[in-house]
Structure 1
């Protein structure tokens, strides 16, 4: 049964909680109704984004600007999970491996389409960390082979390489990220200088979890592919924030956490492995060979995966390009407002091609944790404390830098008034 058919059946049965104005509910798919509503407004009309924001369930007074850590699912996603669970538990045997469960392949196809991949290149995982570990564990590497990464990687994207270093004798080289990054040419030059004849894998985050820098993956691929170096991308931050196409990025493998910017259920993610390199990254399960990457060989969270598919539909209803533009628009507003506060220093690159929906400022003269605490306790603003070299890794001692910074992630459930509220709060706290 396809997910849309299931949803329509529940609507007709009267089991669905009200999602939209009463006039639009009878027998309609909530995602399709949202898309129809949005056609009434140009994207530049504030009513467009007000309509989108009405789909979220944020408590009054909460300004969530830490989407880089965790997203807030829209009501259509949480309702789809509850409805699937209700139906699943009414007939668990038939709905786990048939019925509802059969819809998981439909979700996998939706996910592949969403990131520009083929079905046989994509699997559904629980998060980016699991995806990165699947990649690393499947590689045929020999002692002395080298992996190039950076000192800004998230612990979830770096721990897999540390494991290979500790237990399989693989050498991990850490590139110290320039700060600030002057331009793309500087970044590419530094990367190329750190490649050696023994480099087998280059592993980089798509968006820097500390500074919000967007790595120029396609340009990096132009350096690594002629050298037969596998390019692995920690894409935890980008699906749902940027209008990505993994083929255009040129990466060989890409892992992501859908519970961030894609606003999918917690514990959902994507793994892409380019078909041309699948013989170099072995699957962890031997049950069906490489097709085991589909995750179809064991019991899964059916409701969560179906909710994952609903989140993709939600994004498609709004438009990936529109969402990216909105994230950038709000991020730029954060940048413009906060740069006027004397004790804040921008760490995120200015160039659009190197920036993203996350913006980071270093705080001078006071601990970032104190500012972070005041933002939440006094103003209801959730942000992210970021130190510098990621605290989960031992390279903090080798290449450590403490930027004493705060990271702000703006998504489609934020608006201009919340950015203004953030600026006013920081100006008061840092006065």
Structure 2
């Protein structure tokens, strides 16, 4: 194995821009993200604007503010502004689409065994209510090539398949799936795709127009580093008429004609704090300013860090990298020795890494106990000594 090289570190120059605990080696940006201080300051300004005159804010100011934030996000994600709405998180986005489907008994929803547990649960619940069924496509891991993902899904798609739910970047295995190829192949079979892009915005380049998925949802609080509560749902124009928010509100019978029913319904689902979504443009600007070259350079830096860190850990653990470099973004998963564990509860090793070594990194059973994996994240504030410390901790604890 020829290990990848770590890029020149910028961690020392940027770490103080976050309010992360300096006593913790934080290698789990992927789970919940981490918001820079400057973006939190922007959020507080929006909250103060709201509370200064709530009626003026919600009735007169919120619409233009949402449009500005949506415009910045649409430009970043390669989308048309009218096709994108804010939702609290990608799980809500997935539920929104699934619950808008008109399923018949014996219809099929196809998911993969690399899917996010919460979203797979949503597919099971929606299918059960309609008398439909969920079909699981097993994708190999370790994996040798992206084409194996397409082959695995197509092998489970049949004449009753109504929708395929697939991750852009998988949560348990940290793989960048070939969603463009998959969408094109399924289009030839007349099957729509819902892409769970929870990790993708800010990690990998996005061009939602070119991608052409019927539905795409993504989080902004992870790799864009907005506050928690900011995510988006992108629905292709021909599908928007059937997609309704989980909370039906005033937009359902609004007399306005200056925007689509899709925007009217999703932009107001009830009184809430919209500051996280309004901060998306601030987060995009703040993160782009961290490295010369902006977002493309930031994504390349994080990917190079993830690859080098994965190789360092594989060498320490005596295993081969479980996926090709081409399928890695800013996450990487490596296998651990088998031990009883749970996918939904903290593994004892994860607790020990934090309590004894001050390292925050996820350890989980996948696809089922006793098989265990560890997943690292690479954000601009991480550097080589973080992963060397993890390697030393694993050598001591295992």
Q: Determine the C-alpha separation between the residues in 2 that align with 1:190 and 1:304.
A: 37
Q: Tell me, what secondary structure is at the counterpart of 2:31?
A: coil
Q: Separation in 2 of the partners of 1:189 and 1:257?
A: 27
| Correspondence for 2:205 | 243
State the match for 1:211 in structure 2. Answer: 173
Q: Which residue is equivalent to 1:428?
A: 396
> Which one of the candidate residues 287, 298, 302 is aligned to 2:253?
287
Structure 2: distance between partners of 1:186 and 1:365: 25
Determine the structure 2 residue equivalent to 1:356: 329
Give runs of ≥4 in structure 1 deviating > 6 Å: none
Match of residue 268 from structure 1: 230
Give the match for residue 8 of structure 1: none
Question: Aligned-pair RMSD on alpha carbons?
Answer: 2.2
| Among 298, 308, 314, the residue aligned to 1:333 | 308
> Is the contact between residue 71 and residue 260 of structure 1 (CA under 8 Å) also seen in structure 2?
yes
Instruction: State the match for 2:71 in structure 1.
Output: 109
Deviation readout 1:372-396 (Å, 9 max, x if unpaired): 122111221111122113xxxxxxx
Contact preservation (8 Å) 1:96, 1:302: no
| Residues paired across the two proteins, number | 374
What's the CA shift for 1:346? Answer: 5.4
Alignment of 1:76-115 (within 5 A): 76-99=38-61, 102-115=64-77
Partner of 1:384: 362
User: Which of 138, 151, 156 is residue 194 of structure 1 equivalent to?
Assistant: 156
Residues 96, 228 of structure 1: alpha-carbon distance in 2 compared, 3 angstrom cutoff:
same
What is the rounded CA distance, in whole Å, between the counterparts of 1:365 and 1:133 in structure 2? 33
Deviates more, 1:279-288 or 1:307-316: 279-288
2:136 is equivalent to residue 164 of structure 1:
no
Once the two structures are superposed, what CA deviation does each residue of 1:381-431 show, in whole Å capped at 9, x if it has no partner? Answer: 111122113xxxxxxxxxx5642111111112212221222222222323x
Is the CA contact (8 Å cut-off) linking 1:140 and 1:281 kept in structure 2? no
TM-score between both structures, scaled by the size of structure 2: 0.87
2:30 partner SS: coil
Q: Secondary structure at the match of 2:56?
A: helix
Match of 1:296 among 246, 261, 268: 268
Provide the C-alpha distance between the structure 2 equivalents of 1:366 and 1:297, rounded to a whole number of angstroms. 45
Q: Distance in 2 between matches of 1:363 and 1:53?
A: 29
CA contact (8 A) 1:265 1:307 kept: yes
CA distance, structure 1, for counterparts of residue 275 and residue 210 of structure 2: 32
Q: Point out where structure 2 has 5 or more consecutive residues left out of the alignment.
A: 1-6, 255-260, 342-346
Q: Structure 1 residues 414-423 or 164-173, which shifts more?
A: 414-423
Q: CA separation in 2, counterparts of 1:366 and 1:184? A: 29
Q: Secondary structure of 1:341's match?
A: helix
Take 1:131 and 1:168, find their aligned partners in 2: how far apart are those partners? 20
* d(CA) in 1 for partners of 2:267, 2:116: 25
Q: TM-score, normalised by structure 1?
A: 0.81
